[in-house]
Amino acid sequence: MAHGGGGKLMHQLLERVFGPAFSNPILDTRHDSAQFTVPLGKLAMTTDSYVVRPLFFPGGDIGSMAVHGTVNDLAMSGARPLYLSCAFIIEEGLPMETLWRVVCSMRDAAQRCSLQIITGDTKVVDKGKGDGLYINTTGIGVIEHALNIAPQNVQSGDAVIVSGDLGRHGMAIMAVREGLQFESTIESDSAPIHEPVLALLQAGIEIHCLRDLTRGGLASALNEIAEAAGVKIAIEQKPIPFREDVNAACEMLGLDPLHVANEGRFVAFVAAKDAERAVKILRQQQVSANAAVIGKVVEKAAPLVTIRSTIGASRILDMPSGEQLPRIC
């Protein structure tokens, strides 16, 4: 508890853990607020909290996921990430080695995203009150394009593109929790997705809407967009990319992979004329190598999402009715 008390131990924690890991000229001023130059363009800002259990999982951990998740939220506005704040809420008794692993992972993820962590906070809560570690982040990015990327801009005829295979993050977490064994380890898809988005923008793709496929998966994202835009969306099951082991895990647990969370995937609504070129651009990036057109916006109508199965039968694709996988992000 003394590490959060404002005295010598807290000072040592800041000097020996957070300071060396996140060091940059803005953070190193050690002031109560960060001062930075605002670049030309419109700014995007987002905030998120991360409460995943377990803290470490195949393909990632709470630290890298906190960076990726915040960067990805900025990317859904077409923003280039610049700065990040982070607040750590640490449960009394968390091993210092565990905290250091998380901090190093967060540092490495920020470096890969060309992102600076410029301010933060640390709190320690009583044992049994914090489930190990929670992280809150706020990200700032710059929008360097003239498009207004938002659900309200979705138009009839838009192509619906998914950036890669679905369901891996949720299944990676569940496999660890439930001790499930598969022929190959299911790894989370946790990854930053700003680079493929920026590549689409640089190529002049007419993007109308972007949404990352976190809690609730593809089904929730499509329904949210349909409601906000007042449109009917029709998708096809056959072109949606899934890994066989993810499908098998979902069947074993009675889950629909369309409802399972991802941490490195997004859906894009683009003008039909640009759909083929957009997929080609996305497939040039490793994180979106399996991108595919999975459907289209049918018309302006009462909000509805339908999916046609591989045998040709159509059904309504609704949001999940409850929380299938708690504490996954």
Residue 315 CB neighbours (<10 A): 10
The last residue of one of the domains, among 93, 119, 143, is 143
Contact call for residues 305 and 240 (beta carbons, < 8 A): no
Cis omega (within 30 of 0) for bond into 54? yes
Q: Residue 115 maps to which CATH number?
A: 3.30.1330.10
The predicted model scores a pTM of 0.93
Q: Could you give the angle at which helices 62-75 and 96-112 cross, rounded to 10 degrees?
A: 30
pLDDT at res. 322: 66
What does each of the 329 residues of the chain score in pLDDT, given as a tens digit? Answer: 888 777 888 888 888 899 899 999 999 998 889 999 888 889 999 999 999 999 999 999 999 999 999 999 999 999 999 999 999 999 999 999 999 999 999 999 999 999 999 999 999 999 998 889 999 999 999 999 999 999 999 999 999 999 999 999 999 998 888 777 777 789 999 999 999 999 999 999 999 999 999 989 999 999 999 999 999 999 999 999 999 989 988 888 888 999 999 999 999 999 999 999 999 999 999 999 999 999 999 999 999 999 999 899 999 999 887 666 667 78
- C-beta of residue 120 within 8 angstroms of C-beta of residue 29: no
**118 and 92 share a domain?**
yes
User: Is 181 found in the same domain as 136?
Assistant: no
Q: Read off the DSSP letter of residue 17.
A: I
Judgement on whether residues 71 and 133 belong to the same structural domain of the protein: yes
Q: Name the one residue in this structure whose structure tokens are 């995007």.
A: 44
Q: Which two tokens stand for residue 209?
A: 């809407």
Cβ 104 vs Cβ 249: under 8 Å: no
CATH number of the domain that residue 285 is part of: 3.90.650.10
Based on the fold, state whether residues 134 and 160 are members of the same structural domain. no
Same-domain check for residues 310 and 213: yes
Asked if 169 and 213 touch (Cβ cutoff 8 Å), the reply is no
57-87 pLDDT tens trace: 999 999 999 999 999 999 999 999 999 999 9
Number of domains within the chain: 2
- Domain, as residue range, for 35: 2-143
Q: What is the pLDDT of residues 203-251, one digit of tens each?
A: 999 999 999 999 899 999 999 999 999 999 999 999 999 999 899 888 8
Tokens found for residue 1: 């508890």
Phi, psi for 31 (deg, rounded to 5): -100, 170
CA 274 – CA 146 distance, rounded (Å): 17
